[in-house]
Every structure is written in structure tokens, then in C-alpha cells.
Amino acid sequence: MPAEGRLLVLGAGTMGAQIAQQAALHGVDVHLVDVSADQLERGVAQNRRLLEGRVAKGRMAAEEAEAALSRVRTSGDLPAVAPECSWAIEAIVEQVDAKRRAFSELDRYLPEEAGIATNSSTIVSSRLATATRRPQRVCNMHFFHPVLVMDVCEVVRNPQTTDGTVADAVDWCGRMGRQAVVIEKEIDGFVVNRVLGAASREAFTLLTGGFASFSDIDVAVRAGLNWPMGPFMLADFSGLDTVLNVRRDRASRGNDPGDRATVALLEKLVAEGRLGRKAGRGFYDWSTTPPTPLPLPE
């Protein structure tokens, strides 16, 4: 039997590392697994900086931060740690084939009764569940970036997900200090990103159609809709490589010229290493305060 309540998070990128840390902040023991030792080191270092920031601001005691950091154990050996876990959250790259391989491996090594959730915001779990022998124990648990700040998690059932699996996912959200929103049927974008995606797609259409600059669109959205940031600054914040994967997947399943124009623009930016805030440059130069709009590639 697995250790009671132990969580496995697969993928130590920004989302995976913070999902693991969010659980640990609420007393959950976590195995954070990644094939890259360097990525594991970066994820742990990022979490340490975030918690040390809370300590510096008086929002957390140093002892509490150290205890939370110690609850996240890192490993590159999935077969060794998976049998100890009763739930898994996959948070690797937004690519269906890679996620299907990950789900197959998780299915192979997790206890039979364990559930498997994908953190994907765009890939519904029915596209991954068939890579396992437990499709009824598969769902989406979509956390929002930054996980340590954003309170909500979208729990999305696929046609084979049982009520018990949904209840378990909701329970895990609660144990991790996050509010669950249940989406009863799969749909592209779920709830939050469906609303946000419609606005973002329209913003990119306005940009690629030459109607307005991305910086003016961002100003219009911030000032006119009272959003905390515009769609292009948000894309930088999310990572343009991640946004590109999402838009490529959408473009491959549709026939919208706007999607193709958006993919072409994002491909140029990513090819130049302009990945957004994490790289220091995307639509904006993040070395300045506030970030400065950069020229778009030809």
C-alpha cells in the first residue's frame, strides 16, 4: 500500500515545482520527479526563493518555510518512488505524445488505486487516459500560474472519469489549499482559459492584422477592461514557448487563419530566444521597470 496521502508531481518546471511546494505548504509529503537533475535543482531553488521572499516580508516564519521545503523530495527515479504515492499530477511539456508516454509510465509504477491527473490547460485527459489501464482514475487538475498565489484549480472529468475520482481530485485541491471548480464535460479551454483564450485570440488577430500594436492593445485591455495585465504581457508571463505549443495544437485541429498567423509570429519570437519573462525578453524587455515593448521580428 502507498504511504497515506503522499503526492507525486511529475515535471519540475515552474508549474510542477510550485504545485509540489503548494502541497508541501499544507503538510503534504511530495515526491517531485524529473528526468533532468538540473531542472530539479532549478525548481527547488525557485521555491526556496519564493518562500524566503515570504519570510523576508514577515508572511511566514523561517522554520515554517524550511519545514515546507523539506517535505518536497526530489528524484529522477520514477519506478522507485511512484509505488509510495496515492495520487499523481503530471506537469510536463504541453505535448500530447510526451504526456501519453508519461501517463503510460505513471500507470505502470503507481499503485492500482492511485489517480492520475494532468495539469494541462489545453489537453483534455481523454487524450491521455487511453495510454493507461485506469482511464476511470484519470482527470485534469488545472492549476494556475503562479500556483503559490492563484487560489483556483479546475477539475475536469473525461467521459470515463468516475464520481469517486472527481471527489478525490476535489479533496486533493482542498488538502493543497486550493479551491476546486468542477467541469463536468470536456471542452477546449475549460472555463477560465476559454474566456481568456477568446480575448487573447482576438488580441493576436488585431496584432497580426495590423490594427494596433501589441503594447497599445495591452494598454487598452488594462485601462478599458480593468485587467491586471494585457494579453501580450500575460503571454510573456506564461512563457511564449508554452503559448506556442498551445496555439500549434489548436491550429492543428482547426482551420482558422488567425491561428496560423499567431503560430508564425510566435515561432519567430521563440527562434530568437524570446521566451518571455523567464528569458528576460519576449514581447517586452523584462530587464526594465516597467517592462519595455520590443520591436517584433520581420
Catalytic-residue membership of 121: yes
Catalytic pick among 126, 142, 215, 238 = 142
Alpha helices for 176-230 (secondary structure H): 192-208, 214-225
Tell me the three state secondary structure of residue 46. Answer: helix
Catalytic pick among 90, 94, 105, 154 = 154
Q: How far apart are CA 120 and CA 94, in angstroms?
A: 7
Alpha helices for 82-183 (secondary structure H): 96-109, 126-129, 163-175
- Residues shown for the chain: 298
Catalytic-residue membership of 193: yes
Tell me the three state secondary structure of residue 62. Answer: helix
How is residue 233 written as a grid cell?
504581457
DSSP-assigned beta bridge partners for residue 33: 10, 75
- Determine the number of helices (DSSP H) and then strands (DSSP E) in the chain: 12, 10
Catalytic pick among 86, 120, 121, 140 = 121
Question: At 142, phi and psi to the nearest 5?
Answer: -95, 105
Residue 42's H or E segment, with its range, is helix 37-56
Tell me the three state secondary structure of residue 143. Answer: strand
Matching residue, cell 485506469: 134
Catalytic pick among 75, 193, 213, 267 = 193
How is residue 6 written as a grid cell?
503522499
Catalytic-residue membership of 31: no
* Catalytic positions: 121, 142, 154, 193
